[in-house]
Structure formats: structure tokens, C-alpha cells
Copies of this chain bind each other. A is one copy, B any other.
Amino acid sequence: MKCRKCEQTAVINMRQHKLALCKEHYPAWIVEQTQRFIEKYRMFTQDQRVLVAVSGGKDSLSLWDILWQLGYQADGLYIGLGIDEGLGYSDESHRLAEQFAAQRGLHLRVVDVAETYGETIPQMAERTTRGKGRPCAVCGLTKRHVMNRIARDEGYDVLVTGHNLDDEAAVLFANTLNWATGYLLRQGPVLEARQGMARKAKPLCRFYEREMTAYALVRGIEYIYDECPHAVGSKTIYYKEMLNKLEVDRPGAKLSFYLSFLQARENGLFVASSENDSQTGASGEALHTCPSCGQPTTAPGECAFCRMVLQVREN
């Protein structure tokens, strides 16, 4: 198959866009499209400071690479989670993130969870009921806290993550299967700042996972190939597989699911009532401020993250 824009061999064929592109025109197209989405969803501007959450995976490194090419003031944030599992998972992710930043002369801010809070994620998970069997809940809680803290304390205008369409569609699918009102009202390319929470944006939300993989490969970005060893068997992966099956039978199904959701919301399908207000937690209750860290929490008193860290310190 030939590139739509020149005579070279295409490296990717995007059936849902009826578009095949070569190894020069494909990454250029991704960069242009990202700029289009940044503007369309009013994510951030050239004079704002952007913090990119970098995991060492293909999506976050590609995102940082794109923003760098577009000339945005984008620093990286790497959070050392201490996940090893005999694979040196976190060490290798950290090495790749540092290497990426050094190659481009970019600033990578590093927060090591064990150094900062006393224990690694798997260690913390062992002492909480949240973590029973699987540290993912503790990991998510910690990453949200740290990303938010750095974005706020170090004066960034927006925190951006590398969530791609497959990620977003899977989360939307999960939230739709049980009609999780609070989450449905909030999911989207941009989450506005609220009550001590940084503004968040997802510039890659309209790209398929395979498009991001192709981008990273064509750009020669070295990234960590493996999924986190703890993610195996997760609900999100289960829903991704269901949506992949649907996509095979109906090319474009994932994109249409996500975009028609955004469109329906824009057309006013949903209403934020007292039951499901956007200034509340996902299950509808009013938000409080944690007296220790100043971040929002659904119950009065210390937030779940600060309570967990307190437990670590007391032991």
C-alpha cells in the first residue's frame, strides 16, 4: 500500500480514516492532529507550563515527543513506584524516561515513592485493604496524589497524560455498563481544575493504541514494552479486548463510541443535578479538603492517601 501523500510505502493504514501514510508523513500527521485536538478542546497554549506524566511507556513518551516538536513548554514527571517483580519494571521505565529526556535536553522531574513516603507501592499495598491481592488501587491513588501535588506546587498550568483512545473507550465502556453517573459527567479530553485539583488534559485521546505504537516505532522512541505485571487480568484489559473484537467487526467502532459520547454530552444529553454534580465526588457527595495535603477528598478529615502514608510512618 502506498502513502496517500507521496509514493513511498505506507507504514500504517487507518481504516477508520481511510488513510495510509509512510514513515515520514505518518509521524507528521500525528503531530498535526495532536495540535488540532489541543486547540479544539482548548487544552493549553504555547505560553502555559505543561507537566507530562511520563511512565516510560509508548504513549507518555510519544506525547512528550509530540509536545516537544510542537514547541510547548513541557516538562516530564516520572514517579518511581518501586515495582520490580523480578523484572526490574520500575528501574527500566525510569532509565528509558531519563534517556528520552537527555536525548532531547528536556527536564524530567522525578518523585520516588519509597524515598518520599517510606515504602514502595507493592509494600504499601500489603498493609491496606485497598491493595488486597493487587496494588493497582494503591498505585492509582498515589499517582493521582503525586501528579496533582507537583503540578500545583510547582506552578504548572496543566497536567497532561498519555491516555489513548483505547484507554478512554475502555473506561467509558466500564462506566457505561453500570451507568456511573459521576464518572460519565467528568470523562473527556479536559478536566477543569477544581478545589485544589490541577487542570488535566489528554491530547492523545483520539488516537488508537496501535497508532501510538506505530508512532513510537517510526520515531525510534525506546519505551518499555511490557504492561505493568500487576495489570494482567485487570478489568480495563478485559474491556479493551471486548472493544477490540467489536472494532474488528466494525472498523471505527471505538472512535465512534467515544466521539458520539462527547457529542451527546455537548448537545446537552446529560444534566449535572444535585445527585450527579460535577463539583462532587463520582458518587455524588460534596468534596472536602484534606487538612494534611490540601487535596480534595470525599469525606471530612485526612484523604485516603494521607491516611495510608500515616500508617506507613507509624509502623
Contacts and interface: CB of A to CB of B under 8 A. Distances in A.
A303 interface: no
A29 interface: no
A275 interface: yes
Nearest to A271: B271
Interface string A74-92: 0000000000000000000
A246 B256 contact: no
A266 B10 CA distance: 50
A115 to B, nearest CB: 40
Interface residues of A, number: 26
A269 B271 contact: yes
27 contacts: A176-B176, A177-B256, A177-B257, A177-B260, A178-B256, A178-B260, A179-B257, A179-B260, A179-B261, A179-B263, A179-B264, A179-B269, A181-B267, A181-B269, A184-B269, A242-B242, A242-B245, A242-B246, A267-B273, A267-B276, A268-B271, A269-B270, A269-B271, A269-B273, A270-B270, A270-B271, A271-B271
Interface in A269-305: 269-271, 273, 275-276
Given A177-B256, A269-B271, A270-B270, 19 more contacts: A176-B176, A177-B246, A177-B257, A177-B260, A179-B257, A179-B261, A179-B263, A179-B264, A179-B269, A181-B267, A181-B269, A242-B242, A267-B273, A267-B275, A267-B276, A268-B271, A268-B273, A269-B276, A270-B271
B184 A253 contact: no
Contacts of A41: none
A269 B186 CA distance: 12
Nearest to A267: B275
A238 interface: yes
A181 B270 contact: no
A184 B184 CA distance: 15
A271 B273 CA distance: 10
A193 B98 CA distance: 65
A245 to B, nearest CB: 8
Given A267-B276, A276-B268, A253 B177 contact: yes
A92 to B, nearest CB: 32
